[in-house]
Structure 1
C-alpha cells in the first residue's frame, strides 16, 4: 500500500499510517462533533449500563474536543485490534512485518499465513477479542467516572460502542476479514487448505457484492463501496495465490530457473539489447569477473535514450539490489518473496555462489505449463 508513514514501533513492529487515514481523521472528528451526529452517538451510548448522556448540554468547545478525542481513540482502538492479531501470531513464532492503519481499518502483515486451521482460527479471533476487551474497559471507565466529567464520559462511551461494533463487524465472514479467516479455519478442519480458501473467498466476494448493493441502493456510502472493492479484490487475490501455490507444489527454485543469457558488466547497452532480442527474453543477467551481480530488463533499455546505447554499460544499468533465493528453496515461497519485494527478478544461489537469475516471467511460464497439464 502506497503513501504510508511509520509513526512508531511496538514489539519491534512498525506502526504505519496511510495518507487516507490522515485525511479521514479530521473529517471523522468533525462528523462526531457535529450536533446531529453527536445526538445519534449519544443515543447509542445511552444503551450502556447507567448511561444518561445529553449531548444537547455540551458547549461548542466540548463538542470539538469530543470529536478530536473520539477520532484519536478510534485510531488507538484499531491499533490494539491489530496488535491482538500480532500477539497471538508471536505465540506461534509468526512475525508481523508491519501494522498499517488506513481509512477502512487496519492491516497486520504477518510474515506467513498459517495453514494449520487452529492457528489461523486463534490469530483471527484475537483481533475481535481485543476489541471486546477494550470495550469492556471503556464501559468500566464510563460507569465509574463522575457525571460532571461529561467530555471524558462521552468519549469512553463512544469508544465502548465503537469497539463492540468493530468486533462484531469484523466477524462477518467476508474473507479476508477476520470472520472470513475464521470461516476458512473452520472449513479447514475437514478439507484441504486450498478448498477451504476457495469456499471462503467465494463467500467473501458474495458479501462484497452485497456491500456494494447496500452502498448504492439502500444508502449511498462511498466508504462501503470502497470496502466492497477491497474485499472483492483481496479475496480474489488470496484465492489465486493458493491456486498458484498448488501448481508450484513440490518445485524448487532450481526447477523454475531457466537458461538466462549473460552479458559482461563492461558490455554496452546496445550489446545487451541484441542479447535480449536474440534470446527472446525480457531480462539478462550481468556478470562481473565471472560472477553474476545483477539484471538488466527490457524496460530499462526502453527508457534509455537511443544515443546513449553505445556509451552506457550493462554494469551501469544493472539492478543489483535484488532478492536472493537458495536454489533448493520452495518455488512457492520464492514467488511470494519476489512479489513482496516488488522486484521483477531475483538472484539464485547455491552453496553461497550466484548461479543464475529467476524472473517473474520464468514463474509465469512454469505456471502456464502446469495449468495446461492439469487441464488435460
Structure 2
C-alpha cells in the first residue's frame, strides 16, 4: 500500500484510517483516488472494475460528463440558501421528479434513511389527521432494510442490526413475507405498510407478485398507506424507473435517494394527491435538503435514466446476466436472482470471502443477506464487455472457493 506525506511523516493509508476513523466499516484494503465510467483507480493507479457503484449510487458511472458540467455550473452560481427561501434547481427538480413518477408533491432530504424517516412521519400524520390517536403502526418485512437512524432502524426487519441500541421508537410490526402473515398483522392500529419491491441489503430478494398484490389489496380496503422504499431498487436499477413498476402497482409514498444524487447527498419523499397537503408548516424540515448543487446534479441524473431506451438497455443487460449463469454448472453457487442490474448470487460459504478474492482479481462487489449473498450493483451504463468480464471473475472466484 502506497504512503503519503503528512506533517513531514510518511504515513501508511490503512494505518491512518485505523488511527482516526471509528471502527464502523470492515474496509477492503484499498484507497481510491479517481474513477471513470465503471472503473476505479487506487493510489498506485491500479485499475478495478466497479460492480458496486458506491452501493447503488453511481448509476451513471464515475465522471459522467453531463452530470459534472451541471454540478460545476451550479457551484459557480449558488451553493446553499436554506429552505426559508427558494432556489431555481430545487423547483426544476421538484417539477421533473413529480411528473416522471406520477406523484403529486415532493420533500427533499439528504439520504435514504432520512427519507424513510420522513415517509414514516408523513404516513402517521395522515392517519392522525383523519383518525386520531391509536392508528400509527407500520408493518415492515423480514429481511428489510430502511436505514440506520432510530426509527428507520427499528423499521428494518433484521434483529442482528438492532442489538445494542435499545430502546427504539414504538409502532413497528415486522412480519414474514407471506400473505398469511400479512393478513394476521393488519388491525385497526395499522396506518401503513412499508416494502422494498426488491430487497437489497436483505439478500436481493424480489417480492412475489402475489404478495405485492395482496399488500395493495389490503391497503386499499382499509385506507392503509403503502410506502415503497425505492432507495436501492429505484431510479432505473431494475430496468424500470422504479422497482414497483415491475408489479404494475402505484404506492401512496415513494422514498428515493442513492442514485438520485449521482454521488452527492440527496433524497426525496414523493406522495400522491391523497397526501399532498398532509405536511403543514413546521411539520418537517431539513437544513440541507434541496441544496441547489445536489438538485442540479439530480436533474441531470433524471434526464438520463428516465429515457425509455436507457431503461430498456438496463433490462437487456439484466437478461444478459441471467443468461450468463443459466447454462453453467455450479459447485458453490446456490441461486442467482434479482431484476435488471440488481443481482444477488447466493453461495455456499461466506460472501465476504468471495468479495475479498474478487477484489484481489481487480473486481469490486458487495455482500448482502446473512453474509451468503454476493450482491452486484454495477453502474447502469456498464458495457456488455465489462459486464461479462466481471461475471467471469465472480464465477471463477466463487467456484474456486
* Greater Cα radius of gyration, structure 1 or 2: 1
Structure with the higher fraction of residues in strand conformation: 2
Structure with the higher fraction of residues in helix conformation: 1
Same fold (TM over 0.5): no
TM-score band by shorter chain is under 0.3
TM-score (norm 2): 0.24
Structure number with higher relative contact order (C-alpha < 8 Å, ≥ 6 residues apart): 2
